[in-house]
Structure 1
Amino acid sequence: MGDLEIYRPEGVRLQKVLAQAGVGSRRKCEDLIEAGKVTVNGEVVDQLGVRINPDECVIKVDGKRVSVDTHLITVVLNKPKGVVSTMSDPEGRPSLQQYVTEYEERLFHVGRLDADTTGVLLLTNDGDLANKLAHPTHGVSKVYVAKVRGRVNKGIGTTLRQGLELDDGPVRAAECRIIDATDDHSLVEVVMHEGRNRIVRRMFDAVGHPVIDLVRTKFGPVGLGTLQAGEQRRLSNTEVGLLQQEAGL
Protein backbone atom coordinates (compact mmCIF):
# COMPACT_ATOMS: atom_id res chain seq x y z
CA MET A 1 0.00 0.00 0.00
CA GLY A 2 1.43 3.36 -1.06
CA ASP A 3 0.75 6.89 0.11
CA LEU A 4 -2.43 7.90 -1.66
CA GLU A 5 -3.62 11.48 -1.37
CA ILE A 6 -7.18 10.32 -0.78
CA TYR A 7 -6.33 8.89 2.65
CA ARG A 8 -7.89 11.21 5.21
CA PRO A 9 -7.13 11.07 8.96
CA GLU A 10 -10.53 12.68 9.54
CA GLY A 11 -12.25 10.32 7.12
CA VAL A 12 -14.24 7.11 7.56
CA ARG A 13 -12.58 3.73 8.08
CA LEU A 14 -12.59 1.78 4.83
CA GLN A 15 -14.18 -1.32 6.36
CA LYS A 16 -17.06 0.81 7.67
CA VAL A 17 -17.57 2.34 4.21
CA LEU A 18 -17.71 -1.13 2.68
CA ALA A 19 -20.11 -2.45 5.30
CA GLN A 20 -22.45 0.54 4.85
CA ALA A 21 -22.35 -0.08 1.11
CA GLY A 22 -23.75 -3.57 1.64
CA VAL A 23 -20.60 -5.55 0.84
CA GLY A 24 -20.94 -7.55 4.05
CA SER A 25 -20.43 -7.42 7.78
CA ARG A 26 -17.65 -5.27 9.21
CA ARG A 27 -15.63 -8.40 9.92
CA LYS A 28 -16.10 -9.73 6.38
CA CYS A 29 -14.99 -6.38 4.99
CA GLU A 30 -11.88 -6.46 7.17
CA ASP A 31 -11.09 -9.93 5.83
CA LEU A 32 -11.47 -8.68 2.25
CA ILE A 33 -9.10 -5.80 2.94
CA GLU A 34 -6.47 -8.01 4.56
CA ALA A 35 -6.75 -10.44 1.64
CA GLY A 36 -5.80 -7.65 -0.75
CA LYS A 37 -9.13 -7.75 -2.58
CA VAL A 38 -10.00 -4.07 -2.09
CA THR A 39 -8.67 -1.20 -4.18
CA VAL A 40 -9.12 2.53 -3.67
CA ASN A 41 -8.58 4.65 -6.78
CA GLY A 42 -6.74 1.76 -8.36
CA GLU A 43 -4.36 0.96 -5.49
CA VAL A 44 -4.66 -2.14 -3.31
CA VAL A 45 -5.39 -1.39 0.34
CA ASP A 46 -4.46 -4.38 2.50
CA GLN A 47 -4.13 -2.75 5.92
CA LEU A 48 -6.90 -2.05 8.40
CA GLY A 49 -7.43 1.37 9.90
CA VAL A 50 -7.16 3.32 6.65
CA ARG A 51 -9.55 6.27 6.59
CA ILE A 52 -10.91 7.78 3.38
CA ASN A 53 -13.43 10.30 2.11
CA PRO A 54 -15.85 8.10 0.11
CA ASP A 55 -16.87 11.07 -2.05
CA GLU A 56 -13.33 11.24 -3.46
CA CYS A 57 -12.81 7.55 -4.08
CA VAL A 58 -13.53 4.79 -6.55
CA ILE A 59 -13.67 1.63 -4.46
CA LYS A 60 -13.59 -1.86 -5.95
CA VAL A 61 -13.86 -5.30 -4.39
CA ASP A 62 -12.52 -8.16 -6.52
CA GLY A 63 -12.40 -5.71 -9.41
CA LYS A 64 -16.08 -4.77 -9.12
CA ARG A 65 -16.97 -1.21 -8.30
CA VAL A 66 -18.87 -0.52 -5.08
CA SER A 67 -21.33 2.40 -4.98
CA VAL A 68 -21.05 4.36 -1.73
CA ASP A 69 -23.28 7.38 -2.42
CA THR A 70 -26.35 6.92 -0.24
CA HIS A 71 -28.15 9.89 -1.80
CA LEU A 72 -28.42 8.18 -5.18
CA ILE A 73 -30.76 5.24 -5.62
CA THR A 74 -31.57 2.90 -8.48
CA VAL A 75 -34.65 0.68 -8.62
CA VAL A 76 -35.50 -2.28 -10.84
CA LEU A 77 -39.15 -2.69 -11.77
CA ASN A 78 -40.82 -5.63 -13.47
CA LYS A 79 -42.95 -3.44 -15.73
CA PRO A 80 -46.40 -4.89 -16.35
CA LYS A 81 -48.08 -4.99 -19.72
CA GLY A 82 -50.12 -1.89 -20.57
CA VAL A 83 -47.97 0.51 -18.53
CA VAL A 84 -46.33 3.35 -20.46
CA SER A 85 -42.68 4.20 -19.77
CA THR A 86 -43.31 7.71 -18.49
CA MET A 87 -43.72 9.07 -14.98
CA SER A 88 -47.15 10.48 -15.90
CA ASP A 89 -49.45 10.27 -18.90
CA PRO A 90 -51.74 13.05 -20.20
CA GLU A 91 -54.04 10.40 -21.70
CA GLY A 92 -54.58 8.79 -18.32
CA ARG A 93 -52.89 5.51 -19.12
CA PRO A 94 -51.13 3.62 -16.31
CA SER A 95 -47.64 5.08 -15.82
CA LEU A 96 -44.54 4.35 -13.76
CA GLN A 97 -45.29 6.81 -10.96
CA GLN A 98 -47.53 4.38 -9.10
CA TYR A 99 -44.60 1.99 -8.57
CA VAL A 100 -42.19 4.45 -6.91
CA THR A 101 -44.44 6.29 -4.45
CA GLU A 102 -42.49 4.88 -1.48
CA TYR A 103 -39.36 6.80 -2.50
CA GLU A 104 -38.93 10.44 -1.52
CA GLU A 105 -36.39 10.91 -4.28
CA ARG A 106 -37.60 11.93 -7.72
CA LEU A 107 -36.82 8.98 -9.96
CA PHE A 108 -36.78 8.80 -13.75
CA HIS A 109 -36.62 5.84 -16.09
CA VAL A 110 -33.52 4.63 -17.94
CA GLY A 111 -34.68 4.18 -21.52
CA ARG A 112 -38.11 2.83 -22.31
CA LEU A 113 -40.14 -0.29 -22.88
CA ASP A 114 -43.19 0.01 -25.11
CA ALA A 115 -46.54 -0.44 -23.38
CA ASP A 116 -46.95 -4.06 -24.52
CA THR A 117 -43.44 -5.14 -23.45
CA THR A 118 -42.88 -6.34 -19.89
CA GLY A 119 -39.83 -6.89 -17.73
CA VAL A 120 -36.75 -5.12 -16.43
CA LEU A 121 -36.96 -1.34 -16.32
CA LEU A 122 -34.50 0.70 -14.28
CA LEU A 123 -35.45 3.92 -12.49
CA THR A 124 -32.91 6.19 -10.81
CA ASN A 125 -32.08 9.68 -9.61
CA ASP A 126 -28.48 9.30 -10.81
CA GLY A 127 -28.34 11.34 -14.01
CA ASP A 128 -24.77 10.35 -14.91
CA LEU A 129 -25.56 6.66 -14.58
CA ALA A 130 -28.79 6.97 -16.56
CA ASN A 131 -27.11 8.81 -19.42
CA LYS A 132 -24.24 6.33 -19.64
CA LEU A 133 -26.54 3.30 -19.54
CA ALA A 134 -28.82 4.71 -22.22
CA HIS A 135 -26.06 5.84 -24.57
CA PRO A 136 -25.46 3.34 -27.40
CA THR A 137 -21.68 3.88 -27.45
CA HIS A 138 -21.34 1.99 -24.16
CA GLY A 139 -23.18 -1.04 -25.56
CA VAL A 140 -24.76 -2.16 -22.29
CA SER A 141 -26.42 -5.50 -23.01
CA LYS A 142 -30.17 -6.00 -22.78
CA VAL A 143 -31.64 -9.51 -22.87
CA TYR A 144 -35.12 -10.18 -24.27
CA VAL A 145 -37.23 -13.29 -24.61
CA ALA A 146 -39.67 -13.03 -27.51
CA LYS A 147 -42.63 -15.28 -28.21
CA VAL A 148 -43.07 -15.05 -31.96
CA ARG A 149 -45.50 -16.44 -34.50
CA GLY A 150 -44.59 -19.60 -36.37
CA ARG A 151 -41.69 -22.03 -36.15
CA VAL A 152 -38.36 -20.29 -36.51
CA ASN A 153 -35.54 -22.13 -38.22
CA LYS A 154 -32.02 -22.53 -36.89
CA GLY A 155 -30.70 -19.96 -39.34
CA ILE A 156 -32.55 -17.11 -37.67
CA GLY A 157 -29.73 -16.66 -35.17
CA THR A 158 -27.21 -16.13 -37.95
CA THR A 159 -29.56 -13.75 -39.76
CA LEU A 160 -30.14 -11.58 -36.68
CA ARG A 161 -26.46 -11.57 -35.69
CA GLN A 162 -25.34 -10.63 -39.20
CA GLY A 163 -27.81 -7.76 -39.19
CA LEU A 164 -30.85 -6.40 -40.97
CA GLU A 165 -31.57 -3.14 -42.75
CA LEU A 166 -34.59 -1.37 -41.25
CA ASP A 167 -36.16 1.88 -42.36
CA ASP A 168 -34.12 3.83 -39.80
CA GLY A 169 -30.82 2.07 -40.42
CA PRO A 170 -29.05 -1.25 -39.88
CA VAL A 171 -29.47 -3.32 -36.73
CA ARG A 172 -28.08 -6.58 -35.47
CA ALA A 173 -28.39 -8.77 -32.39
CA ALA A 174 -25.31 -9.44 -30.28
CA GLU A 175 -26.55 -12.95 -29.51
CA CYS A 176 -29.58 -15.05 -30.41
CA ARG A 177 -30.74 -18.52 -29.42
CA ILE A 178 -33.92 -20.53 -29.91
CA ILE A 179 -35.41 -21.68 -26.60
CA ASP A 180 -38.38 -23.59 -28.03
CA ALA A 181 -40.20 -23.92 -31.35
CA THR A 182 -43.56 -25.35 -32.40
CA ASP A 183 -45.61 -24.96 -35.57
CA ASP A 184 -47.67 -22.21 -33.91
CA HIS A 185 -45.03 -20.17 -32.10
CA SER A 186 -41.42 -20.05 -30.94
CA LEU A 187 -39.48 -18.64 -27.99
CA VAL A 188 -36.28 -16.82 -28.89
CA GLU A 189 -33.78 -15.12 -26.59
CA VAL A 190 -32.05 -12.08 -28.07
CA VAL A 191 -29.24 -9.95 -26.65
CA MET A 192 -29.14 -6.35 -27.88
CA HIS A 193 -26.67 -3.53 -27.35
CA GLU A 194 -28.99 -0.78 -28.52
CA GLY A 195 -32.48 0.35 -27.67
CA ARG A 196 -34.18 2.01 -30.59
CA ASN A 197 -37.95 2.26 -30.46
CA ARG A 198 -39.59 -1.19 -30.70
CA ILE A 199 -36.35 -2.51 -32.18
CA VAL A 200 -36.82 -6.18 -31.22
CA ARG A 201 -40.39 -6.25 -32.53
CA ARG A 202 -39.30 -4.64 -35.81
CA MET A 203 -36.46 -7.12 -36.23
CA PHE A 204 -38.78 -10.10 -35.93
CA ASP A 205 -41.34 -8.43 -38.22
CA ALA A 206 -38.57 -8.11 -40.80
CA VAL A 207 -37.83 -11.86 -40.73
CA GLY A 208 -41.50 -12.85 -40.93
CA HIS A 209 -42.11 -13.81 -37.28
CA PRO A 210 -44.21 -11.09 -35.60
CA VAL A 211 -43.86 -10.84 -31.83
CA ILE A 212 -46.76 -12.11 -29.72
CA ASP A 213 -45.22 -11.33 -26.31
CA LEU A 214 -41.95 -9.71 -25.34
CA VAL A 215 -40.18 -9.53 -21.98
CA ARG A 216 -36.86 -7.94 -21.11
CA THR A 217 -35.18 -10.27 -18.64
CA LYS A 218 -31.92 -8.40 -18.02
CA PHE A 219 -30.45 -4.91 -18.30
CA GLY A 220 -26.69 -5.22 -17.97
CA PRO A 221 -26.06 -7.29 -14.82
CA VAL A 222 -29.56 -6.67 -13.38
CA GLY A 223 -32.16 -9.38 -13.90
CA LEU A 224 -35.77 -9.94 -12.90
CA GLY A 225 -34.99 -12.49 -10.20
CA THR A 226 -38.20 -13.32 -8.37
CA LEU A 227 -39.94 -10.00 -9.07
CA GLN A 228 -43.54 -10.44 -10.18
CA ALA A 229 -45.24 -8.02 -12.59
CA GLY A 230 -45.60 -4.66 -10.87
CA GLU A 231 -43.05 -5.44 -8.15
CA GLN A 232 -39.89 -3.42 -7.68
CA ARG A 233 -36.86 -3.38 -5.42
CA ARG A 234 -33.99 -1.04 -4.72
CA LEU A 235 -30.67 -2.26 -6.05
CA SER A 236 -27.90 -2.92 -3.56
CA ASN A 237 -24.83 -0.70 -3.69
CA THR A 238 -22.88 -3.64 -5.07
CA GLU A 239 -25.38 -4.00 -7.94
CA VAL A 240 -25.19 -0.28 -8.63
CA GLY A 241 -21.42 -0.57 -8.68
CA LEU A 242 -21.66 -3.29 -11.33
CA LEU A 243 -23.97 -1.07 -13.39
CA GLN A 244 -21.52 1.83 -13.07
CA GLN A 245 -18.70 -0.39 -14.18
CA GLU A 246 -20.62 -1.65 -17.21
CA ALA A 247 -21.57 1.94 -18.09
CA GLY A 248 -17.92 3.01 -17.99
CA LEU A 249 -18.20 5.23 -14.92
Structure 2
Amino acid sequence: MRDPHHPTLIDRQQVAVDGQIVKSAECVHVAFNKPRGLIVSAADEQGRATVYTALAAAGLPWLGPVGRLDKASEGLLLLSNDTTWAAGITDPATHLDKTYHVQVAGQPDATALAMMQTGINDAGDLLKAKRVTLLRVGEKNAWLEVVLDEGRNRHIRRLLAALGFDVLRLIRVAIGPLTLGELAKGQWRRLSAGEVSALDTRKGKN
Protein backbone atom coordinates (compact mmCIF):
# COMPACT_ATOMS: atom_id res chain seq x y z
CA MET A 1 0.00 0.00 0.00
CA ARG A 2 1.51 3.32 -1.07
CA ASP A 3 -1.42 5.63 -0.39
CA PRO A 4 -0.36 7.89 2.56
CA HIS A 5 -4.01 8.64 3.31
CA HIS A 6 -5.03 4.99 3.64
CA PRO A 7 -6.39 4.37 7.19
CA THR A 8 -4.54 1.85 9.34
CA LEU A 9 -6.14 -0.29 12.05
CA ILE A 10 -3.36 -0.33 14.62
CA ASP A 11 -4.85 -3.25 16.56
CA ARG A 12 -5.05 -5.45 13.41
CA GLN A 13 -2.37 -4.21 11.04
CA GLN A 14 1.28 -3.33 11.04
CA VAL A 15 3.15 -0.62 9.17
CA ALA A 16 6.55 -1.42 7.70
CA VAL A 17 9.14 0.58 5.79
CA ASP A 18 11.61 -1.42 3.69
CA GLY A 19 10.56 -4.50 5.61
CA GLN A 20 11.13 -2.94 9.03
CA ILE A 21 8.11 -2.75 11.34
CA VAL A 22 7.39 0.83 12.41
CA LYS A 23 6.63 1.05 16.10
CA SER A 24 4.93 3.85 17.97
CA ALA A 25 7.35 6.24 19.63
CA GLU A 26 7.63 6.01 23.40
CA CYS A 27 5.60 8.72 25.07
CA VAL A 28 7.88 10.87 27.19
CA HIS A 29 6.62 13.33 29.80
CA VAL A 30 9.12 15.66 31.44
CA ALA A 31 9.02 18.31 34.17
CA PHE A 32 11.63 21.04 33.80
CA ASN A 33 12.45 23.85 36.23
CA LYS A 34 12.85 26.68 33.73
CA PRO A 35 15.33 29.36 34.77
CA ARG A 36 14.61 33.00 34.10
CA GLY A 37 15.98 34.20 30.77
CA LEU A 38 15.30 31.11 28.64
CA ILE A 39 12.93 31.28 25.67
CA VAL A 40 10.29 28.54 25.36
CA SER A 41 10.92 27.98 21.66
CA ALA A 42 12.82 25.58 19.44
CA ALA A 43 14.85 28.45 18.00
CA ASP A 44 15.13 32.18 18.44
CA GLU A 45 15.85 34.59 15.59
CA GLN A 46 17.84 36.78 18.00
CA GLY A 47 20.06 33.88 19.02
CA ARG A 48 18.88 33.84 22.64
CA ALA A 49 19.16 30.67 24.72
CA THR A 50 16.08 28.43 24.75
CA VAL A 51 14.85 25.62 26.96
CA TYR A 52 16.18 23.26 24.30
CA THR A 53 19.66 24.67 24.84
CA ALA A 54 19.39 23.58 28.46
CA LEU A 55 18.08 20.12 27.49
CA ALA A 56 20.50 19.54 24.60
CA ALA A 57 22.66 17.03 26.48
CA ALA A 58 19.75 15.16 28.08
CA GLY A 59 19.44 12.53 25.33
CA LEU A 60 15.69 13.02 25.09
CA PRO A 61 13.60 12.67 21.93
CA TRP A 62 11.98 15.76 20.48
CA LEU A 63 9.52 17.13 23.06
CA GLY A 64 7.11 19.99 22.62
CA PRO A 65 6.36 22.47 25.41
CA VAL A 66 3.04 21.96 27.15
CA GLY A 67 1.99 25.58 27.48
CA ARG A 68 4.34 28.52 27.84
CA LEU A 69 6.35 30.59 30.29
CA ASP A 70 7.67 33.92 29.05
CA LYS A 71 11.38 34.77 29.11
CA ALA A 72 11.23 36.58 32.45
CA SER A 73 9.19 33.85 34.16
CA GLU A 74 10.54 30.70 35.76
CA GLY A 75 9.45 27.45 37.33
CA LEU A 76 7.50 24.36 36.29
CA LEU A 77 7.33 23.68 32.56
CA LEU A 78 6.07 20.42 31.07
CA LEU A 79 7.41 18.98 27.82
CA SER A 80 6.14 15.91 26.00
CA ASN A 81 5.75 14.15 22.67
CA ASP A 82 2.32 12.92 23.81
CA THR A 83 0.32 15.48 21.87
CA THR A 84 -3.13 14.33 22.98
CA TRP A 85 -2.14 14.43 26.65
CA ALA A 86 -0.55 17.85 26.17
CA ALA A 87 -3.59 19.24 24.37
CA GLY A 88 -5.81 18.26 27.28
CA ILE A 89 -3.63 20.16 29.72
CA THR A 90 -3.53 23.33 27.62
CA ASP A 91 -7.21 23.25 26.57
CA PRO A 92 -8.91 26.25 28.29
CA ALA A 93 -12.08 24.16 28.64
CA THR A 94 -10.42 21.89 31.22
CA HIS A 95 -9.81 24.80 33.64
CA LEU A 96 -6.75 23.05 35.05
CA ASP A 97 -5.29 25.10 37.89
CA LYS A 98 -1.83 26.64 37.47
CA THR A 99 -0.26 28.01 40.65
CA TYR A 100 2.32 30.80 40.73
CA HIS A 101 4.36 32.52 43.42
CA VAL A 102 4.69 36.17 42.47
CA GLN A 103 6.92 38.83 44.02
CA VAL A 104 5.61 42.35 43.50
CA ALA A 105 6.97 45.78 44.27
CA GLY A 106 4.74 47.30 46.92
CA GLN A 107 2.25 45.82 49.35
CA PRO A 108 -1.16 44.89 47.89
CA ASP A 109 -3.98 45.40 50.38
CA ALA A 110 -7.17 43.39 50.75
CA THR A 111 -8.93 45.57 48.17
CA ALA A 112 -6.26 44.89 45.53
CA LEU A 113 -6.37 41.16 46.22
CA ALA A 114 -10.15 41.17 45.90
CA MET A 115 -9.95 43.07 42.60
CA MET A 116 -7.54 40.45 41.23
CA GLN A 117 -10.25 37.84 41.79
CA THR A 118 -13.13 40.03 40.58
CA GLY A 119 -11.25 40.82 37.38
CA ILE A 120 -9.84 43.73 35.41
CA ASN A 121 -10.66 44.59 31.81
CA ASP A 122 -7.41 45.12 29.92
CA ALA A 123 -7.57 45.85 26.18
CA GLY A 124 -10.79 43.87 25.93
CA ASP A 125 -9.53 40.90 27.96
CA LEU A 126 -11.10 40.09 31.32
CA LEU A 127 -8.09 39.23 33.45
CA LYS A 128 -8.72 37.64 36.82
CA ALA A 129 -7.33 35.04 39.18
CA LYS A 130 -9.23 32.08 40.55
CA ARG A 131 -7.59 32.58 43.92
CA VAL A 132 -5.03 34.98 45.43
CA THR A 133 -3.28 34.58 48.79
CA LEU A 134 -0.82 36.95 50.45
CA LEU A 135 2.16 34.77 51.42
CA ARG A 136 4.44 37.30 53.08
CA VAL A 137 5.20 41.02 53.17
CA GLY A 138 8.55 42.78 53.29
CA GLU A 139 9.44 46.43 53.67
CA LYS A 140 9.17 47.20 49.96
CA ASN A 141 7.64 44.12 48.35
CA ALA A 142 5.31 41.19 48.87
CA TRP A 143 4.90 37.60 47.72
CA LEU A 144 1.55 36.38 46.45
CA GLU A 145 0.25 32.95 45.54
CA VAL A 146 -1.87 33.31 42.43
CA VAL A 147 -3.95 30.47 40.99
CA LEU A 148 -5.25 30.68 37.41
CA ASP A 149 -7.65 28.25 35.76
CA GLU A 150 -7.30 30.01 32.43
CA GLY A 151 -4.38 31.80 30.87
CA ARG A 152 -3.99 34.76 28.55
CA ASN A 153 -0.78 36.26 27.24
CA ARG A 154 1.20 37.71 30.20
CA HIS A 155 -1.97 37.26 32.27
CA ILE A 156 -0.58 37.85 35.77
CA ARG A 157 1.80 40.63 34.75
CA ARG A 158 -0.96 42.55 32.98
CA LEU A 159 -3.42 42.02 35.83
CA LEU A 160 -1.01 43.34 38.44
CA ALA A 161 0.17 46.20 36.21
CA ALA A 162 -3.44 47.34 35.87
CA LEU A 163 -3.56 47.57 39.66
CA GLY A 164 -0.29 49.51 39.81
CA PHE A 165 2.10 46.72 40.82
CA ASP A 166 5.29 45.71 39.03
CA VAL A 167 6.17 42.02 39.01
CA LEU A 168 9.69 41.35 40.25
CA ARG A 169 9.62 37.55 40.01
CA LEU A 170 7.06 35.08 38.71
CA ILE A 171 7.52 31.38 39.45
CA ARG A 172 5.09 28.63 38.41
CA VAL A 173 5.09 26.16 41.28
CA ALA A 174 2.30 23.76 40.26
CA ILE A 175 0.18 22.54 37.37
CA GLY A 176 -2.91 20.80 38.67
CA PRO A 177 -1.74 18.34 41.36
CA LEU A 178 1.86 18.31 40.07
CA THR A 179 4.21 20.55 42.10
CA LEU A 180 7.68 21.82 41.31
CA GLY A 181 8.88 20.36 44.57
CA GLU A 182 12.65 20.07 45.08
CA LEU A 183 13.53 20.04 41.38
CA ALA A 184 16.54 22.34 41.07
CA LYS A 185 16.59 25.27 38.70
CA GLY A 186 17.66 24.18 35.21
CA GLN A 187 17.09 20.49 35.99
CA TRP A 188 14.51 18.07 34.59
CA ARG A 189 12.96 14.73 35.47
CA ARG A 190 10.57 12.26 33.90
CA LEU A 191 7.08 12.14 35.31
CA SER A 192 5.94 8.94 36.97
CA ALA A 193 3.04 6.99 35.49
CA GLY A 194 0.89 8.20 38.37
CA GLU A 195 1.76 11.84 37.71
CA VAL A 196 1.01 11.46 34.00
CA SER A 197 -2.35 9.90 34.84
CA ALA A 198 -3.19 12.61 37.38
CA LEU A 199 -2.78 15.25 34.68
CA ASP A 200 -4.69 13.29 32.03
CA THR A 201 -7.82 15.32 31.42
CA ARG A 202 -9.20 12.57 29.15
CA LYS A 203 -9.96 10.30 32.10
CA GLY A 204 -13.63 9.54 32.47
CA LYS A 205 -14.35 10.70 28.92
CA ASN A 206 -15.49 8.54 26.05
**Per the shorter chain, which TM-score range?**
0.7 to 0.9
> Are residues 1:212 and 2:164 paired?
no
Q: Quickly say closer, same or farther: Cα 1:211–1:247, change in 2 above 3 A.
A: farther
TM-score (normalizing by structure 2):
0.82
- Secondary structure of 2:184's aligned partner: coil
Which of 6, 18, 38 pairs up with 1:83? Answer: 38
Q: Aligned residue for 2:138?
A: 182
CA displacement at 1:156 relative to structure 2: 2.5
- Residue equivalent to 2:113: 157
Partner residue, 2:53: 98
CA contact (8 A) 1:88 1:96 kept: no
Q: Which runs of 5+ in 1 are unaligned?
A: 1-54, 57-68
Q: Is the 8 A contact 1:138 1:247 kept in 2?
A: no
Between the aligned residues of both structures, percent identity stands at 31
2:185 alignment partner, one of 204, 229, 232? 229
State the distance in 2 between where 1:80 and 1:165 align.
30
Check conservation: 1:218, 1:224, Cα contact below 8 A.
Answer: yes
Name the structure, 1 or 2, with higher relative contact order (CA <8 Å, separation 6+): 2
Residue 4 of structure 2: aligned partner: none
Spell out the pairing of 1:88-167 with structure 2 (5 A cutoff): 88-101=43-56, 102-167=58-123
- TM superposition outliers: structure 1 runs of 4+ over 3 Å: 245-249
8 Å contact kept, 2:37–2:72? yes
**1:123 and 1:84 mapped to 2: Cα distance?**
14
Q: 1 or 2, which has the higher helix percentage?
A: 1
Rounded Cα–Cα distance in structure 1 between residues aligned with 2:111 and 2:204: 34
Equivalent-residue separation in structure 1 for 2:174 and 2:28 (angstroms): 18
Matching residue of 1:74 = 29
The letter for the 1-side match of 2:44 is: D
Deviation at 1:158, TM superposition (A): 1.5
TM-score (norm 1): 0.69
Secondary structure in 2 aligned to 1:155? helix
Alpha-carbon displacement from aligned partner over 1:118-150 (angstroms, at most 9, x marks no partner): 000000001111111111111111001110011
* Counterpart Cα distance in 2 of 1:248 and 1:117: 33
* DSSP-derived class of the 1:244 partner: coil
Structure 1 pair 106–248 and aligned structure 2 pair: CA distance change class (3 A): farther
Q: Secondary structure at the match of 1:76?
A: strand
Quick one: which amino acid aligns to residue 142 of structure 1?
K
Contact 1:99–1:232 (CA under 8 A) maintained in structure 2 = no
Distance 2:87 2:184 in 1: 27
Unaligned runs of 5+ in 2: 1-9, 12-23
Alignment size in residue pairs: 183
Letter in 2 for 1:125: N
* Rg (Cα) greater in structure: 1
User: Structure 1 residues 150, 104: closer, same or farther in 2, change over 3 A?
Assistant: closer
Summarize deviations over 1:197-231 as a string: whole Å, max 9, x none.
Answer: 11101111011111011101011122111111100
**C-alpha RMSD of matched pairs (Å):** 2.1
1:211 and 1:104 map into 2 onto residues whose CA distance is 34
The alpha-carbon deviation at position 247 of structure 1 amounts to 7.7
Q: Does 1:195 align with 2:148?
A: no
